[in-house]
């Protein structure tokens, strides 16, 4: 038996044969528009099918009812208009041999009333939900009957649309699990009180679904294995629910996840990232599998094929949900089949994808810029017609990606890196203990460029003569940036987040961290120092700390900072820093009253992003055909660069990533893929 055999075994559910055990669970990447399927959405799902996935469940939380608000770019499954969209999706996925299902749900109180149709949210009891902040209508008998029929009709549309099945979501606080959970269901009628009563609504829904779709159509549920709040359903309760629903004979599979979606903390637990070990909730699914006779699906940090294969081989689960792993690499199964496991780009658990969706943006992968951009960017870079010589400066994520893509194009690539190792700023970010997984991003890229035969020159800071000496046709500057404490008076007295995280400067005893960025560096440094005993206050001029991060990414930071007694002070700008005695005095100003206050500390760590390293770029400009100018229209349109303003130019010159300006890992990788794919 090969190591991965279990993952590649087909699974039969009724008349459906799923070709292998790799599953993409229902999620909303935010690619739908107006509740409808788009070309982008189809291509995104089709790429998974092309890449070998067994089953893909699209349409994460497709609406069942007219009052659903569709606030994260979901599909609207509440009208028959969706049926042709389903057909289009099914055709694209089936073409490559994968199976597909849609996930449907009514969001209950987890909906907004002030978008879509301006209808209120409905729930078992009129309790406000912390994330959507709606006050729902407590459902009466007629509401219940109407919503049951809506569910059935929505499931029927999936069947009409040629899908292989439907998953009724009862997880993350949909209406059904709101009925289940004593935390939310405070009813005194036959739908509240005992667990049996609380389970009633969901069973009635599934009964109507089954009645409408018939006995052969595959219907499953997604549910939590433990709500992870004291007032909610515990693990034993969830097992009891699974047992009862399985016993009903109405469903064909159970898809198990963890926690629920009632608030920020819970969301972050459900979609837990690099702050958890691999397969953190496998035991929850395994316990349910032990109790029921139906196939059990499960996702959450089954980030690599070895973990997923073991989970299946050891009998914990039947389908391995590798949703984020497939976002990082939709061709994961094909690479596994081709014995190219090392070529699989592995999810690092940065939750950039989900975080963006929960910020009402589109889902993107921190490290794979092609995901969700299948129309314009390739997952498999094809060879170019000709062969040119390309010099890349800097082996951070931007430079590594530029080298990888250029090498895949078939070009000769020389990659200069000043440090003795590749990775650039990611190496610094990964120094914050629990964020070590980030180093997986450059590690994979490093492995790929070496395998592709890129001429990697480590420990070599390239000078103009080095570049000219290579006789390049194209030069890509990916030299990154240098830390910038900011532009306030006395900024030179500040320590940078890099100084702290690299260990170059020891953390002080009393520290003010000043975050004028909003992303991860400042909270990482604060956490790092608090961990080492510093008394830390983090001030920011933003409305809240980590304004750039979404509700899956900021909770683990906040949990850590609060637990270590870090004081968080929003709405304060740092206007001056001066030395006084042995210490420093920081002058902070309230953003709204302009009132000033002072802090006496040992150390001020100021974060203001990076300043681009442009010296080499500037020095090379006169030698460049394009004087270093980028045709951004061509770049965005996906056309090759063609500026040729300098008749005596010897090569074309570009810059990517933070060497252009301070952004993030995704931007760096995206810059390079988008530019270099046309070399």
Partner 1 sequence: MIALLLSIALATGAVLACWRARRWSVGRSAPVAVLRGALRLPRGYFHDVHDVVSRDRYAARMHVLAAGGFVGAVLLVFAVHLFGAAWPPLVWLLMVFLFAMALGALYVLARRWPKAEARLSKGSFQRLPWSLLAFALFFFWASLPQAGAPPIDWGAPLAWAMFALGVWGAAEMIAFFPVGPMKHAFAGALHLVCHPRSGRFGAARPDSALRALDLSAPRLGAETPADFSWNQLLGFDACVQCGRCEAVCPAFAAELPLNPKKLIQDLARAMDGTGTDARYAGSPHPGREIGRARGGPRAVLIGVDAMIHPDTLWACTTCRACVYECPMLIEHVDAVVHLRRFQALERGAVPGKAPHVLAELRETDNPGGHALSSRLDWAADLSLPILAEGGECDVLLWLGEGAFDLRNQRTLRALVRLMRRAGIDFAVLGEAELDSGDLARRLGDEAIFQSLAQRNVAILDRRAFSRIVTADPHVFHSLRNEYPAFGGEYTVLHHTTFLAELLEAGKLAPRAKPEGKIAYHDPCYLARYNGEIAAPRAVLDAIGAERVEMDRSGMRAMCCGGGGGAPVTDVAGKRRIPDLRMDQARATGASVLAVACPNCANMLEGVTGARPDVTDIAELLDRATEGP
Q: 82 vs 305, which CB is nearer to partner 1?
A: 305
Please choose, out of 93-101, 151-159, 237-245, 414-422, the segment that lies near partner 1 by the rule CB under 8 A. Answer: 93-101
- 256 close to 298: Cβ distance less than 8 angstroms: yes
Q: 10 vs 622, which CB is nearer to partner 1?
A: 10
Please choose, out of 4-12, 290-298, 307-315, 522-530, the segment that lies near partner 1 by the rule CB under 8 A. Answer: 4-12
Smallest distance, partner 1 to C-beta of residue 337, A: 6
Told to check if 10 binds partner 1 by CB under 8 A, we report yes
Smallest distance, partner 1 to C-beta of residue 387, A: 12
Q: 4 vs 416, which CB is nearer to partner 1?
A: 4
Query: Token pair of 284, please?
Result: 């929850």
- The values of phi and psi at residue 529, to 5°, are -75, -40
Q: Which residues lie below 8 Å from residue 668, measured CB to CB, with a gap of 6+?
A: 396, 397, 398, 401, 478, 656, 657, 658
* Residue 606 β-bridge partners: 496, 514
Please choose, out of 10-18, 204-212, 216-224, 233-241, the segment that lies near partner 1 by the rule CB under 8 A. Answer: 10-18
- Considering only 196, 339, 436, 600, the residue that binds partner 1 (CB under 8 A) is 339
Smallest distance, partner 1 to C-beta of residue 334, A: 10
Q: 11 vs 390, which CB is nearer to partner 1?
A: 11
Q: 4 vs 352, which CB is nearer to partner 1?
A: 4
- Considering only 128, 133, 337, 482, the residue that binds partner 1 (CB under 8 A) is 337
Task: Report helix, strand or coil for 270.
Answer: helix
- Considering only 2, 34, 214, 638, the residue that binds partner 1 (CB under 8 A) is 2
- For the chain, the distance separating the N- and C-terminal CA atoms, rounded to the nearest angstrom, is 43
Q: How many CB atoms lie within 10 A of CB 646?
A: 18
- 195 close to 240: Cβ distance less than 8 angstroms: yes
Smallest distance, partner 1 to C-beta of residue 674, A: 25
Told to check if 4 binds partner 1 by CB under 8 A, we report yes
Q: Which residues lie below 8 Å from residue 382, measured CB to CB, with a gap of 6+?
A: 408, 409
- Considering only 32, 42, 98, 546, the residue that binds partner 1 (CB under 8 A) is 98
- 346 close to 303: Cβ distance less than 8 angstroms: yes
Please choose, out of 96-104, 112-120, 127-135, 399-407, the segment that lies near partner 1 by the rule CB under 8 A. Answer: 96-104
Told to check if 17 binds partner 1 by CB under 8 A, we report yes
Smallest distance, partner 1 to C-beta of residue 443, A: 21
Smallest distance, partner 1 to C-beta of residue 88, A: 20
Q: 17 vs 471, which CB is nearer to partner 1?
A: 17
Q: 9 vs 457, which CB is nearer to partner 1?
A: 9
Q: Which residues lie below 8 Å from residue 418, measured CB to CB, with a gap of 6+?
A: 394, 459, 460, 461, 479
587 CB-contact burial (10 Å; exposed 0-12 / middle 13-18 / buried 19+)? middle
| Segment holding 307, helix H or strand E | helix 305-313
DSSP one-letter code for 519: S
Ramachandran class of 61: left when φ > 0, alpha when ψ lies in -120 to 50, beta otherwise: left
CB contact burial 419-443 (16+ within 10 A = b; e otherwise): eeebbbbbbbbbbbebbebbbbbbb
Q: 209 vs 326, which CB is nearer to partner 1?
A: 326
Told to check if 409 binds partner 1 by CB under 8 A, we report no
- Considering only 13, 18, 358, 668, the residue that binds partner 1 (CB under 8 A) is 18
Smallest distance, partner 1 to C-beta of residue 7, A: 10
Task: Report helix, strand or coil for 465.
Answer: helix
Q: How far apart are CA 71 and CA 369, in angstroms?
A: 24
Told to check if 338 binds partner 1 by CB under 8 A, we report yes
Told to check if 8 binds partner 1 by CB under 8 A, we report yes
Please choose, out of 7-15, 309-317, 542-550, 643-651, the segment that lies near partner 1 by the rule CB under 8 A. Answer: 7-15
Q: 57 vs 484, which CB is nearer to partner 1?
A: 57
Told to check if 215 binds partner 1 by CB under 8 A, we report no
Told to check if 5 binds partner 1 by CB under 8 A, we report yes
Helices 397-408, 665-676: crossing angle, 10 deg rounding: 20
Told to check if 9 binds partner 1 by CB under 8 A, we report yes
Q: How far apart are CA 364 and CA 359, in angstroms?
A: 12
Q: Give residues 20-49 in contact with partner 1 (rule: CB under 8 A).
A: 20
- Considering only 41, 88, 97, 290, the residue that binds partner 1 (CB under 8 A) is 97
Q: Which residues lie below 8 Å from residue 384, measured CB to CB, with a gap of 6+?
A: 409, 410, 411, 679
Of the candidates 158, 259, 289, 138, which has an alpha carbon nearest to the alpha carbon of residue 201? 138
Q: 6 vs 78, which CB is nearer to partner 1?
A: 6
- The values of phi and psi at residue 498, to 5°, are -65, -45
Q: 202 vs 330, which CB is nearer to partner 1?
A: 330
Please choose, out of 6-14, 118-126, 232-240, 388-396, the segment that lies near partner 1 by the rule CB under 8 A. Answer: 6-14
Smallest distance, partner 1 to C-beta of residue 2, A: 5
- 38 close to 32: Cβ distance less than 8 angstroms: yes
Number of residues lying near partner 1 (CB under 8 A): 17
Q: 280 vs 410, which CB is nearer to partner 1?
A: 410
Q: 2 vs 215, which CB is nearer to partner 1?
A: 2
Query: Token pair of 303, please?
Result: 């980030």
- Applying CB under 8 A, the residues found at the interface with partner 1 are 1-2, 4-5, 8-10, 17-20, 96-98, 337-339
């Amino acid at each position: 038996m090969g190591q991965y055999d279990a993952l590649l075994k087909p699974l039969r559910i009724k008349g459906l044969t799923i070709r292998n055990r790799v599953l993409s669970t229902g999620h909303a990447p935010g690619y739908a528009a107006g509740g409808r399927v788009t070309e982008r959405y189809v291509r995104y799902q089709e790429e998974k099918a092309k890449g070998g996935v067994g089953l893909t469940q699209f349409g994460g939380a497709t609406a069942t009812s007219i009052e659903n608000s569709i606030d994260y770019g979901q599909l609207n499954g509440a009208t028959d208009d969706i049926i042709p969209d389903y057909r289009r999706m099914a055709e694209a996925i089936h073409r490559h041999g994968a199976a597909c299902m849609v996930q449907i749900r009514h969001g209950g109180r987890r909906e907004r009333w002030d978008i879509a149709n301006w209808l209120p949210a409905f729930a078992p009891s009129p309790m406000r939900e912390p994330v959507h902040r709606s006050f729902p209508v407590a459902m009466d008998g007629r509401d219940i009957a109407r919503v049951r029929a809506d569910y059935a009709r929505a499931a029927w549309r999936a069947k009409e649309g040629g899908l292989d099945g439907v998953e009724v979501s009862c997880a993350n606080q949909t209406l059904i699990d709101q009925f289940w959970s004593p935390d939310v269901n405070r009813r005194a009628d036959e739908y509240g009180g005992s667990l049996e009563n609380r389970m009633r609504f969901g069973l009635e829904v599934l009964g109507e679904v089954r009645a409408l779709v018939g006995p052969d159509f595959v219907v499953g549920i997604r549910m939590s294995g433990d709500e992870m709040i004291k007032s909610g359903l515990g693990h034993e309760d969830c097992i009891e629910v699974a047992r009862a629903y399985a016993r009903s004979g109405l469903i064909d599979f159970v898809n198990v996840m963890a926690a629920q979606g009632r608030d920020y903390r819970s969301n972050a637990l459900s979609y837990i990232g690099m702050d958890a070990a691999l397969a953190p909730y496998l035991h929850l699914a395994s316990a349910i599998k032990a109790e029921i006779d139906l196939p059990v699906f499960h996702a959450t940090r089954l980030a690599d094929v070895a973990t997923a294969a073991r989970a299946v081989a050891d009998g914990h689960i039947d389908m391995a949900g590798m949703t984020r792993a497939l976002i990082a690499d939709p061709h994961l199964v094909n690479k596994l089949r081709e014995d190219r496991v090392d070529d699989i780009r592995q999810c690092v658990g940065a939750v950039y994808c989900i975080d963006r969706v929960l910020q009402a943006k589109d889902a993107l992968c921190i490290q794979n810029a092609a995901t969700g951009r299948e129309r314009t960017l390739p997952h498999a870079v094809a060879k170019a017609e000709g062969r040119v010589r390309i010099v890349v400066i800097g082996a951070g994520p931007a430079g590594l990606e530029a080298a990888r893509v250029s090498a895949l194009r078939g070009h000769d690539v020389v990659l200069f890196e000043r440090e003795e190792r590749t990775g650039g700023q990611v190496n610094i970010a990964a120094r914050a203990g629990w964020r070590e997984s980030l180093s997986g991003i450059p590690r994979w890229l490093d492995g790929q460029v070496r395998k592709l035969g890129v001429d990697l020159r480590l420990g070599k800071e390239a000078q103009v003569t080095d570049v000219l000496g290579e006789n390049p046709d194209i030069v890509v500057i990916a030299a990154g940036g240098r830390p910038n404490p900011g532009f306030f008076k006395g900024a030179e007295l500040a320590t940078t987040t890099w100084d702290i995280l690299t260990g170059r400067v020891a953390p002080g005893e009393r520290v003010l961290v000043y975050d004028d960025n909003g992303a991860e560096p400042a909270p990482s440094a604060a956490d790092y120092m608090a961990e080492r005993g510093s008394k830390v206050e983090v001030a920011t001029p933003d409305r809240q700390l980590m304004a750039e991060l979404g509700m899956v990414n900021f909770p683990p930071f906040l949990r850590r900072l609060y637990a270590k007694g870090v004081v968080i002070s929003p709405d304060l700008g740092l206007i001056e820093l001066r030395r006084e005695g042995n210490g420093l005095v920081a002058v902070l100003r309230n953003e709204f009253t302009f009132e000033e206050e002072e802090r006496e500390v040992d150390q001020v760590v100021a974060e203001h992003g990076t300043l681009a390293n442009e010296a080499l770029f500037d020095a090379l400009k006169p030698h460049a055909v394009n004087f270093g100018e980028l045709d951004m229209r061509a770049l965005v349109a996906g056309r090759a660069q063609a500026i040729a303003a300098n008749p005596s130019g010897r090569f074309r010159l570009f810059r990517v990533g933070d060497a252009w300006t301070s952004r993030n890992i995704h931007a760096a990788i995206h810059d390079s893929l988008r530019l270099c794919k046309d070399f």
